[in-house]
Amino acid sequence: MPAYFIPSRIHPTAEQTDLQTATQPVVLGEANAGAAKTTTLALRIAESLARNVEPARILALAFTPEARDVLRQRLLDIGVPWDTVNQLDILTIEDLAVRTLAQLEGEELKLTLQPRRLKTHVWRAIDAVAAQYAGRPGSRYAELDLRKSEIAVSGYLDTLLRLKARMALQGDYDDDPVEAAEVAGAPLTDYLVALAYETIRLDGAEQAQFRTRFDPTYDLARMLRREPGCAQAFPRYRVIVCDELHDMNEASFVIVEALIRATGAFFTGVGDKHQVIHDQLGASHDYLDFRFRHAFPGLRTYPLTTTYRHGPHLTLAIDALMDNRASSGVPDHTEISQAHYDTAEECAQQVVAAIKAWKKDKRRLEQCAVLMRDRHQSIALENALIAAGIGYRVPVMKGYMQREEILFLRGVLAITLDDLRAVPSYEVRTAIVEALAAFAGVEAAAGFEKVKHDIAKEPSLLPGFFRGHLGGDALADADTAFADVMRYLLDVAPDSPAGDVLAEVCRRMDVAAVAKRVYVNPYAASVAARSIEGLVAMARKSGLGLAAFWKKINAAEVFASRKREKDFVHLDCVADVKGQEFGHVIMPYLEVNEFPDPLLPARTERNLFYVGVSRTRQRLTLLSPTDPERRSGFLRQMQIAAVAPKADQALRQLEDKVAEERPLRLYLTARYEDREEVRQLGAQFDTVRKQWYIDAGADTGPFQRWL
């Protein structure tokens, strides 16, 4: 079917045009990374407008505010006027849930986003669980680990979010919480706290007493399952599109399915099943592969295989990695370079060298991203960037100096040197005290919430509090691991080797075991333990005494915390950059037991690596060990050298194609007062772009003044 809408600036592929003009009620686009998924949805919307669908009856959904804003921009990019775009409903699923609940409940929703207020509710839930279950002799609840530290509260809220995303808080085992927790895949303590928290939030009623992030989505999904008639509150849309379906979880699927059925709208969704990396939050390729097809048997699937992000050399290497059908529409050679290292510090120096080479080529630093598998890898990287004077941002991930496990070691140094005042930030001083308490196991001390702020205001109180809490003058009689550490630190001189002192603290504390207690989740605990190992290794390599090392890391924090508007590189974990793209992507530490991580599913790890390499536009730098046996298997699977000849041929074909392409229409600069004249000359009017045009190949002579 011919398209009514002809975009500006791009030449849609046949695949894009097929999806743009599809007539089936429910349509899915299965795409590769960089295959212009969002642009194709914009074409679908523009086609609906060209076929006289009112803008107010079109809904565009995304999963994040960033994706929502990108979709809005893509509509403008292809030529849809701003005033038309402004009439469309372009929302996140959470936006839609907030608006729908406000209509159903008859009042505006107010979200509680302040961590302090949420923490109070979590503490109440912990107290409720303790009162109901803790201390039952011989019961299955005897081993509950109920803690109130900031880290524990964050862990409880993360588990709650996962349970809600998967709609796993209610099921067939409500009378047996132990079995219900096992079926939900959550630690029993976390599951019981989640149930108690929800009881408090709902206050025994159906209407929530307070809501925070994701609660509107979850509450609307619950309501639609319980009372399907609530879907009549949705506006009567005629066209609905949804981006990034690979991020869909059970709660969002319940809403989207109810929305399609209630409105009878034409639905188009796009996603990339290889970008399913948030499986802990319930995301699954099942929604693209099975759930939509089961719910809507007449569904039609369209492929989107051509990427517009990178050239054939990277496209074919990714194709070999993922075993999928892909091609490139970019007539450029995307450079793939590899370098090798023997130590973590050498890898960090390779990163610095790659960044300097990018800058030497007159490229903007802001277009360069260093993408890691996980946060513990950033210690050597951040130190190397600081030493080289290269500014960096950590948009989602915390810099290593402000992570809980490192804050704990900084607290140990502050106690030993009695110098917490050297940390300039009140917030960071507070976080150091909190981390010390969490790792020492004293976060539940009476009045601690007030004391930690008192210490942050008056840092000289720090050594006295921890020594006093552990027994004051009777410190020698305390038998905890942290008390042993405190006794050890009493005799440590300021010029003692920092690496040796920190290593001894970790040995006495058995930090790997402590991390498992503090973080509960085995993977999070392993990452924290590796971060601690990284800082100890850094201290040893520095050769500095405690006082000098303390000064060094505080200066590093000042450098890292500077706000930069330009001349910086991005430093982040791969999982946090999905949906973004960069001119130069550097991926360090591509080695066995790092990427892929052996603690996580192999399929998720491969998808994560795919997300990382596919963020690239012009240059990809891959850093792996010198020893081939230690290199990540993903590098071998890319077959970079083997696909190069085929990529060279594809690049030549693309260059020839670009030279031959002509636009389908020539748009005119005719103004409103010129409309009758250009119409009589044979021009036609594009109702979506609101511009006059002539077909390519037509005689342009009469229209020269408007070209």
Q: What is the CATH number of the domain that holds 333?
A: 3.40.50.300
- Of 451 and 479, the structure prediction assigns the larger pLDDT to 451
Kindly state the percentage of the chain with pLDDT values over 70.
92
Degrees to nearest 5, angle at CA 260 with 255 and 266: 140
Name the most confidently modeled range: 253-262, 287-296, 440-449.
Answer: 253-262
Confidence of residue 669 (pLDDT cuts 50, 70, 90): confident
The answer as to whether 305 is a domain residue is: no
| Percent helix, strand and coil across the chain, each to the nearest 5 | 55, 10, 30
With H, G, I as helix, E, B as strand and everything else as coil, classify residue 89.
strand
Domain of residue 648, residue span: 312-391+564-655
* The pLDDT of residue 394 is above 90: no
3-class state of residue 285 by DSSP = coil
pLDDT (0 to 100) of residue 477: 46
CA distance 51 to 44: 11
Mark whether 264 and 152 lie in a shared domain.
Answer: no
Inter-CA distances, 659 with 653, 654, 656, Å: 10, 9, 5
Q: Please say whether the beta carbons of 631 and 590 come within 8 A.
A: yes
- Residue 342 corresponds to which tokens in the numbers above? 């023997």
Average of per-residue pLDDT across 90-114? 89
What confidence category does residue 39 fall into, taking pLDDT thresholds of 50, 70 and 90? Answer: very high
Closest alpha carbon to 147 in 406, 434, 485, 523: 434
**Of the residues 269, 300, 331, the one at which a domain ends:** 300
Confidence band for 444, pLDDT divided at 50, 70 and 90: low
Report the distance separating Cα 693 and Cα 142, nearest Å: 77
Residue 318 resides in a domain: yes
Dihedral of alpha carbons 210, 215, 218, 224, sign? positive
For residues 550 and 419, state if they share a domain: yes
318 and 292: one domain? no
89 with 56: CB under 8 angstroms?
A: yes
The DSSP secondary-structure symbol of 374 reads S
Q: How confident is the model at residue 671 (pLDDT cuts 50, 70, 90)?
A: confident
Whole-number pLDDT of residue 48: 96
Q: What pLDDT, in 10s, does the model give residues 1-36?
A: 789 998 887 788 899 999 999 999 999 998 888 888
**Interatomic CA distance for residues 218 and 624, integer angstroms:** 42
**Whole-angstrom distance, CA of residue 112 vs CA of residue 114:** 6
Contact criterion met (CB below 8 Å) for 683 and 707:
no
Taking a C-beta distance cutoff of 8 angstroms, is the pair 155, 520 a contact? yes
Q: Measuring CA to CA, which residue among 32, 612, 313 is closest to residue 623?
A: 612
Could you give the residue ranges of the DSSP H alpha helices within 203-296?
215-226, 250-263, 286, 292-295
pLDDT of 449 > 50? The answer is yes
Q: Are residues 100 and 242 in the same domain?
A: yes
Share of the chain above pLDDT 90, in %: 43
User: Does 455 fall in a domain?
Assistant: yes
Banded pLDDT at 289 (limits 50, 70, 90): confident
Is residue 665's pLDDT more than 70? yes
Whether residues 165 and 290 share a domain: the answer is: no
Q: Report the relative pairing of strands 368-372 and 569-573 from DSSP bridges.
A: parallel
Both structure tokens of 103: 């209509």
pLDDT value of residue 247: 84
Residues 119 and 27 in one domain: no
C-beta separation of 14 from 46 below 8 A: no
Q: Which residues pair with 240 in a beta bridge?
A: 59, 267
CA distance linking residue 385 with residue 295, whole number of Å: 51
- Asked whether the predicted pLDDT for residue 191 surpasses 60, the reply is yes
Which pLDDT score, from 0 to 100, does residue 475 have? 41
Residues in the chain: 707
- Residues 396 and 571: their CA atoms lie apart, in Å, by 9
| Tokens encoding 277 | 């990396």
What average pLDDT does this structure show over 416-441? 88
Spatial contact of 583 and 617, defined as CB atoms under 8 Å apart: yes
- Say which residues have a Cβ less than 8 Å from residue 608's Cβ, sequence separation at least 6: 277, 373, 574, 575, 595
Sequence-distant (≥ 6) Cβ neighbours of residue 312 within 8 angstroms: 327, 328, 330, 334, 646, 647, 648, 650, 651, 654
CB-based burial of residue 674 (10 Å sphere; 0-12 exposed, 13-18 middle, 19+ buried)? middle
Give mean pLDDT, residues 369-391.
Answer: 90
**H or E element at residue 648:** helix 640-660
pLDDT of residue 352: 97
| Half-sphere exposure (Cβ direction) of 198: Cα atoms closer than 13 Å | 19
The whole-number pLDDT of residue 472 equals 40
Query: Which is more confidently placed, 402 or 211?
Result: 211
Report the distance separating Cα 137 and Cα 141, nearest Å: 9
Question: Does the pLDDT at position 551 exceed 50?
Answer: yes
- 675 and 648 share one domain: no
Banded pLDDT at 135 (limits 50, 70, 90) = low
| Nearest partner of 338 among 635, 613, 583, 621, judged by Cα | 621
Distance CA 692, CA 702 (A): 14
- Most distant CA atoms of the chain, gap in Å: 100
Angstrom distances, CA of residue 120 to CA of 125, 455, 574: 9, 21, 33
Q: Give me the pLDDT at residue 262, please.
A: 95
Report the range of poorest mean pLDDT among 25-34, 53-62, 376-385, 663-672: 663-672
Q: Are residues 424 and 512 in the same domain?
A: yes
| Residues 8, 689 contacting (CB under 8 angstroms) | yes
Does position 220 have pLDDT exceeding 90, yes or no?
Answer: yes
Beta strands 335-341; 616-625: pairing state: parallel
DSSP H or E run through 240:
strand 239-242
Listed residue (129, 140, 98) closest to 197, CA to CA = 129
Confidence of residue 116 (pLDDT cuts 50, 70, 90): low
CA distances from 204 to 169, 200, 552 (A): 15, 7, 53
The answer to the question of residue 157 being in a domain is yes
If phi > 0 it is left, if psi is from -120 to 50 it is alpha, else beta; for residue 32 that is beta
Q: Decide if 2 is inside a domain.
A: no
For residue 684, is pLDDT > 90?
A: no
Average pLDDT over residues 673-690: 80
Output the pLDDT for position 446: 60
Structure tokens at 664: 């389908």
**Which pLDDT score is estimated for 476?**
44
In a domain, 660, yes or no: no
**Domain end (from 155, 181, 212):** 212
421 plus 549 within the same structural domain: yes
**pLDDT given at position 274:** 80
Average pLDDT, the chain: 86
Q: What is the pLDDT of residue 281?
A: 67
**What pLDDT is attached to residue 649?**
94
Q: Structural domain tally of the chain? A: 5
To which residue do tokens 């998967």 refer? 166
**Hey, which residues does 392 pair with through a beta bridge?**
569
Report the 10 Å Cβ neighbour count for 620: 27
Buried b (16+ CB within 10 A) or exposed e, 330-367: bbebbebeebbbeebbbbbbbbbbbbeebbeeebebbb
Q: Residues 516, 407: one domain?
A: yes
| Closest by Cα among 110, 111, 68, 113 to 92 | 68
Distance, CA of 526 to CA of 599 (rounded, Å): 9
Q: Mean pLDDT across the stretch 200-205?
A: 80
Residue 306 lies in a domain: no
Q: Which of 620, 637, 655 is the last residue of a domain?
A: 655
Q: Computed from CA positions of residues 541, 546, 550, 551, in that sequence, does the dihedral angle turn out positive or negative?
A: negative
Same-domain pairing of 382 and 235: no
Report pLDDT for 474. Answer: 38
Q: Which of 5-19, 198-212, 286-300, 322-336 has the lowest mean pLDDT?
A: 198-212
- What's the pLDDT at 503? 93
Mean pLDDT of 392-409: 83
CA 387/CA 623 separation, integer angstroms:
20
Q: Phi and psi dihedrals of 691, rounded to 5?
A: -140, 150
Whether 139 has a pLDDT exceeding 70, the answer reads: no
pLDDT for 461: 85
Pairing relationship of beta strands 684-686 and 691-695 according to DSSP bridges: antiparallel
Which pLDDT value is given to residue 659?
A: 63
Within-domain flag for 69: yes
Could you tell me whether strands 582-587 and 368-372 are parallel, antiparallel, or unpaired per DSSP bridges?
A: parallel
**Identity of the amino acid at 604:** T
Q: How many CB atoms are closer than 10 A to CB 393? A: 17
Which helix (H) or strand (E) segment holds residue 558: the answer is helix 546-560
Contacts of 555 (CB under 8 A, 6+ apart): none
More confident residue, 142 or 474: 142
* 82 and 138, same domain (yes or no): no
Report how far residue 88's alpha carbon sits from residue 52's, in angstroms, rounded to the nearest whole number: 13
